């Protein structure tokens, strides 16, 4: 009887250390929970129906665009996170908006996660990119090397190998994915203690201590862009940079319990 009581009591205890589950961030039907912000437009304007959900896919589409004048867009999830694992399954489709003109060759088959981002409500009307850490998704161009899951740093810096790392973009060690194939990228984010990019289950880039600093995001509110401020959490967004893309999954594993012991969560 005592053994039975002990077993029942144990089962009644919360499973504090059980593995968290993946939770989808879009519902497969509409943009509930997401808010667009395009440069030169007010928050909430979904310019030319760029972000949409069709056939269960979250799409960034340019079929209703005939010109481009720097209206870089971002679609923000409704709440911030600090400790989590996030994943995207994406594929690039079609051709870049031709009206983007010269000077945007870098934007061909280019998208990404903006992590630890500023609140979109704090972006000024004409701001091109949010202050954030970008996990850059790149598609291959048919030949040559073009790795995905790179790092770009609009208005930010990170630490690598114990030193402040200030280049705007840094390539990962991921392979190149040509054509319209589906790719899964995951990112482990533990506040400002660790950010790890993974492709096909392999670590391809890792860094620590993201902080506000540098350029590549403009114009910005000086009350928001205070250089040296640690980035311990923030909003999540995907981009629109003139390249059509589809997402069949954007999902998150909430790791808030890792606040108490980041070391124990480094291999999650």
* Tokens (6 digits) for 24: 């989808």
Is pLDDT of 1 > 90? no
Task: For residue 14, tell me if it sits in a domain.
Answer: no
Task: For residue 1, tell me if it sits in a domain.
Answer: no
Work out how many domains the chain is built from and give that number.
Answer: 1
Task: Report phi then psi at 61, rounded to 5.
Answer: -120, 145
Task: For residue 52, tell me if it sits in a domain.
Answer: yes
* Per-state percent for the chain, helix, strand, coil, to nearest 5: 10, 40, 50
Burial of 112-146, coded b for 16+ CB within 10 Å and e otherwise, reads: bbbbbbbebebbeeebbbbbbbbbbbbbbeeeeeb
CB of 85 closer than 8 Å to CB of 255: yes
pLDDT band at 242 (very low <50, low <70, confident <90, very high): very high
Task: For residue 2, tell me if it sits in a domain.
Answer: no
Task: For residue 142, tell me if it sits in a domain.
Answer: yes
Tell me how far apart the alpha carbons of residues 115 and 15 are, in angstroms, rounded to a whole number: 29
Percent over 70 (pLDDT), the chain: 92
What pLDDT, on a 0 to 100 scale, did the predictor assign at position 98?
86
Domain that holds residue 87: 27-265
pLDDT band at 101 (very low <50, low <70, confident <90, very high): low
What pLDDT, on a 0 to 100 scale, did the predictor assign at position 7?
35
pLDDT band at 124 (very low <50, low <70, confident <90, very high): very high
Across 188-195, average pLDDT: 98
Closest to 186 measured CA to CA, from 211, 203, 171, 173:
203
The residues with which 114 forms a beta bridge, in sequence order, are 134, 237
Task: For residue 12, tell me if it sits in a domain.
Answer: no
- The CATH number linked to 208 is 2.60.120.560
pLDDT band at 88 (very low <50, low <70, confident <90, very high): very high
């Amino acid at each position: 009887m005592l053994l039975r009581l002990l077993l029942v009591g144990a089962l009644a205890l919360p499973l504090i250390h059980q593995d968290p589950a993946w939770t989808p961030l879009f519902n497969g039907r509409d943009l509930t929970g997401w808010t667009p912000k395009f440069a030169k437009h007010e928050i909430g304007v979904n310019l030319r129906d760029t972000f949409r959900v069709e056939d269960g896919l979250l799409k960034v589409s340019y079929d209703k665009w005939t010109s481009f004048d720097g209206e870089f867009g971002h679609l923000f999830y409704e709440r911030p996170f600090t400790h989590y694992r996030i994943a995207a399954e994406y594929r690039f489709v079609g051709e870049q908006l031709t009206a983007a003109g010269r000077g945007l060759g870098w934007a061909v088959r280019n998208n990404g996660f903006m992590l630890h981002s500023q609140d979109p409500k704090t972006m000024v009307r004409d701001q091109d990119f949010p202050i954030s850490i970008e996990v850059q998704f790149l598609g291959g161009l048919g030949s040559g090397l073009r790795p995905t899951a790179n790092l770009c740093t609009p208005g930010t810096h990170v630490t690598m190998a114990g030193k402040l790392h200030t280049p705007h973009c840094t390539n990962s060690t991921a392979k190149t994915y040509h054509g319209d194939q589906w790719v899964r990228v995951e990112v482990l984010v533990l506040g400002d203690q660790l950010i790890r990019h993974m492709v096909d289950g392999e670590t391809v880039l890792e860094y620590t201590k993201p902080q506000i600093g540098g350029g590549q995001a403009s114009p910005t509110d000086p009350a928001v862009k205070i250089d040296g401020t640690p980035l311990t959490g923030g909003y999540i967004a995907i981009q629109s940079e003139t390249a059509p893309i589809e997402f069949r999954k954007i999902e998150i594993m909430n790791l808030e319990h890792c606040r108490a012991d980041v070391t124990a969560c480094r291999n999650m």
